Each structure stands twice: as structure tokens, then as C-alpha cells.
Amino acid sequence: MLAQRIASAVVGLPLVILLIWVGGPWYTAAVCLIILIAAYEFQAPQLGAWTPLAMFTAGLAAAIAAGAFVGTDWVLWFVIAGAILPLVWVTLRGDPATALPDYTHAVGGIVYVGLLGAHLVLLRELHGGQDWVYLAVFGTFAVDTFAFATGKAIGRRKLAPTISPGKTIEGTIGGIAGGFMMVLLLNYFLGIRLEAALIVPLALLLPLAAVLGDLAESMLKRGMDIKDTGNILPGHGGFLDRADSILFTVPVVYYFLIWVVP
């Protein structure tokens, strides 16, 4: 498992760095592809693998990210489409027994994966967005890495045994500390240089959001009675398993910039 995680990182991290640096259509296309796969991974256990509704709603989720590149109005329009079109779909199908769970699951995936994931594009399109995406993504990766390493080394007490039995309190504290330090380091070395009064709150918020995002996805997986959402990333599971924390942290960074940073 550890060797697979390391191998995936060696292959994947340079590509992530390159795509964030390039930005523009190539970056947006990559984000859309990741969201498409992650949304399908979310939809398939409930709606059925390769069913038209699962693939359609995954496509709508990816379209929100594409809309974010064009303009924020397009985000709203695709979200509205994501609320209406699955309802039309289940209505035309005419099966009352499955209509409500299928509709709520479809919309849940569109909002959870599509709308939250679209903030990767929204953040990149801000002034200085390249550095902020680096900070959000690699700050999140630091939380996961330090939590994993600390949990393996000294983890004893379970954090949430009914949700995620492998997570420990010690590992979580290590992850939050590692993420805090990484945000401070990236703030300096990327040249962002926010003053302490601004960067310290963000350095606290980001790791907490990462932990919550990880736990939230674990809760959803328990509800779907699955261990991983996929197996496309060796050692990590599916794209949604890798992006769960990022779905929470990137919106936190985006709205922190919009609402707090002058």
C-alpha cells in the first residue's frame, strides 16, 4: 500500500504541478476530467454502473467546472440544470419507488463533486490564482501525508471508529500540524507573503477543512457500503478518494480570498 502511494505520487505530482502552472484550457480540461470520473464514482454505487443517469449526472458535474472557466454565471446555470434535468429524467422514467433516492443522489453528486470541484477553476482564474491553487492543493496533500505518517507511527486512539476506523486522533493532530506548517511555508516560498494576521487563520482553516472533507466522504462511503470509490489510483482508491479533502479546502481558500484578503 505504501509503495503504491509513493509510486502514484511520483507519477502524479509532476503532472499536477505542470497543469496548475499552465492553467487555461488545459488545466480546466484536466479538472473537468477529474470531476467527471469522481462524480461517476459517486453516482455508480447508487444509480448503477454505466447507467445513463449516472453518466449524465457525472457529465453535468463536469460541465459546472467548464462553466467556471467561461464565467460565474455559467456555474449558476449548470447548477440549475443539475437540479432540474435529473428530476425530469426520473419523472419520465415513471418509477416512484426509485425516483426520490435516485434524484437526491444525482443532485447530491452534482453539488458535492461538481460545484465544489469547480472552485479549482474559479480559484485558478483569480489574480495570482496559480500560487493560490498550489497553496490549497499542496497544503491539503500535506495534511493527508502527515496524518498518514503520524497515524502509522504513534496512532492509538480512534478518531471516528464508526465512520473511518483507520483514522486516529494522533494522526489527525499530526495532519493538522503538518498542513498548518505547509501553508505558512508556501505563503513564503511562493511569494504570496500574506501578513501573519491573515495567513495564520487560513493555515488553521485549511487543515480543519481537509479533515472534515475526508471524514465527510468516509461517511458517504459507509452509507453506500463501499471501502473505496474506485481503484484507478494505486494505493489511493478512486479519484474521489484522492480529491475528497480538496473539495472542501479549495472553496475555503477561494472565499477566504474573496471575503477576507483585501
Across the range 161-183, mean pLDDT stands at 95
Q: How far apart are CA 125 and CA 134, in angstroms?
A: 13
Residue 222: what pLDDT? Answer: 87
> Does residue 260 share a domain with residue 245?
yes
Q: How far apart are CA 157 and CA 138, in angstroms?
A: 27
Lowest mean pLDDT among 3-12, 28-37, 244-253: 3-12
Across the range 129-142, mean pLDDT stands at 97
Residue 79: what pLDDT? Answer: 96
Residue 258: what pLDDT? Answer: 95
Q: Is the pLDDT of residue 4 over 70?
A: no
Q: How far apart are CA 28 and CA 26, in angstroms?
A: 5
Over residues 173-212, the pLDDT tens digits come to 999 999 999 999 999 999 999 999 999 999 999 999 999 9
Q: How far apart are CA 213 and CA 211, in angstroms?
A: 5
> Does residue 120 share a domain with residue 32?
yes
> Does residue 109 share a domain with residue 72?
yes
**Average pLDDT of every residue of the chain:** 92
Q: Is residue 136 part of a domain?
A: yes
Q: Which residue has the higher pLDDT, 162 or 248?
A: 248
The three three-digit cell numbers of residue 214, written as one number: 475526508
| Domain count of the fold of the chain | 2
Q: Is residue 260 part of a domain?
A: yes
Q: Concatenated DSSP letters for 197-245?
A: HHHHHHHHHHHHHHHHHHHHHHHHHHHHT-S-S-SSBTTTBSHHHHHTT
Residue 183: what pLDDT? Answer: 98
Query: Which of 125, 156, 176 is where one domain is finished?
Result: 125
Lowest mean pLDDT among 12-16, 45-49, 73-77: 45-49
Residue 243: what pLDDT? Answer: 92
Query: Which of 105, 125, 145 is where one domain is finished?
Result: 125
Across the range 55-79, mean pLDDT stands at 96
> Does residue 99 share a domain with residue 167?
no
Residue 234: what pLDDT? Answer: 65
Q: What percent of the chain has pLDDT over 90?
A: 81
- Domain with 29, as residue range(s), is 24-125
Query: Which of 70, 91, 125 is where one domain is finished?
Result: 125
Residue 9: what pLDDT? Answer: 63
Across the range 118-125, mean pLDDT stands at 98
Over residues 198-256, the pLDDT tens digits come to 999 999 999 999 999 999 999 998 888 887 777 776 656 789 988 999 999 999 999 99
